Structure 1
Amino acid sequence: MIELGSPCPWDVLPPGIHDTTLAEVEIRFATTPHRKWLFGGLVRVTEVLAKAGCRYVYLDGSFVTAKPHPGDYDGCWDHVGVDIDALDPVLLDFSNKRAAQKAKYLGEMFIAGMPNGPDGPFVDFFQVEKSSGKPKGILRIPLAPPKGATP
């Protein structure tokens, strides 16, 4: 089970990358009707990413904190092995503050290794709590390979 704890505005995950499953995320974080709605968007995006060959997503944002009513979820996905031609083009559309992603999947997903300015790649950027600048954790969720694929 994932425990929260922090001096930040909301409890956050302890520093590090924490391996978990979608089922565990649902149990721990999809605890209200609104959070269940956001979780449904997360499940849809992970299904699309898995079909394109993505092996891992990293989950961050207020969804994985103790914030009572998170606005969305944030995350990034591991590009290794991903067939870009099989990927939903919405996941490569970062325009208008990722409005298309938010509309379709209820959250924002970046490429894990994509630079986020001077803060390094998104997978590192997401491990810093934005109000305090202190380290915090993110979740790594393995995705099932598409049916018929060999691992």
Structure 2
Amino acid sequence: MPVPTLASPNGYLPVGDHTVTWTEITAGFGHNQRRRQLLEELFVVLQALKQRGVQTVWLDGSFVTAAELPRDIDVVYEAPEGADVAGWGYLSPLRRVELRNLTGIDLWLGPAIGRHGGGPISSIKDFFSTDRDSIGRGLLLLRLQKDFP
């Protein structure tokens, strides 16, 4: 299923999870040097997550919008049951900020929580499903074991 058309006027994906392949992500969002650079970094991170048994990731952030020069790619994942993510090196939640600063990949372990301003607390995936003004937006869903090289 191809990447859906970004909604105007905010440039977001339509609300919901949109299952895509790696090829569809690169074709739909790799249209300039900054975006291709982020995709190269994302590829390395996703390979490492796949090797550790992660099945599914959700992509969000300015990268999956109409922003010409996105700051980063937000990635939400769920670790396999019993995984010791603290021992995953640069993929560890303890090193999230370091990874983001080095690569532009902001990696979030689900089902962590987040909130916009003083709003209600929600799962990190639900948090990324709205913006700071509570406007709904979609996420890209990538099945690593099926739709990623």
Scaled by the length of structure 2, the TM-score of the pair is 0.83
Cα 1:77–1:85 change in 2 (3 A) is closer
TM superposition shift of 1:91: 2.4
> Where does structure 1 lack aligned partners over 5 or more consecutive residues?
146-151
Mapping of residues 56-135 of structure 1, within 5 Å: 56-81=56-81, 83-84=83-84, 88-94=88-94, 98-117=96-115, 118-130=120-132, 132-135=133-136
Match for residue 5 of structure 1?
7
Q: Distance in 2 between matches of 1:133 and 1:85?
A: 31
- Indicate the percent of aligned positions where both proteins have the same amino acid: 27
Counterparts of 1:127 and 1:54 in 2: how far apart (Å)? 21
The superposition leaves residues 8-59 of structure 1 with CA deviations (integer Å, 9 ceiling, x where unpaired) of 2xx0100001111111100000111111000011111111100110001100
Give the whole-Å Cα distance in 2 for the aligned partners of 1:16 and 1:76: 15
Contact persistence 2:63–2:72 (CA under 8 A): yes
Query: Distance in 2 between the 1:21 and 1:5 partners?
Result: 20
Q: Tell me if structure 2 keeps the 8 A contact 1:53–1:82.
A: no
1:15 equivalent in structure 2: 15
Structure 2 gap ranges (5+) = none
Residue aligned with 2:106, SS: strand
Question: How far apart are the structure 2 equivalents of 1:82 and 1:35?
Answer: 34
TM-score, scaled to structure 1: 0.82
- Cα distance in 2 for residues equivalent to 1:85 and 1:119: 23
Distance 1:105 1:144 in 2: 23
Q: Does structure 1 conserve the Cα–Cα contact (< 8 Å) formed by 2:56 and 2:144? A: yes
The CA RMSD measured in Å over matched residues stands at 2.1
Give the number of aligned pairs.
140
8 A contact 2:86–2:94 mirrored in 1: no
The alignment status of 1:28 with 2:16, answered yes or no, reads: no
Rounded Cα–Cα distance in structure 1 between residues aligned with 2:104 and 2:137? 23
Alpha-carbon shift at residue 104 of structure 1 (Å): 4.2
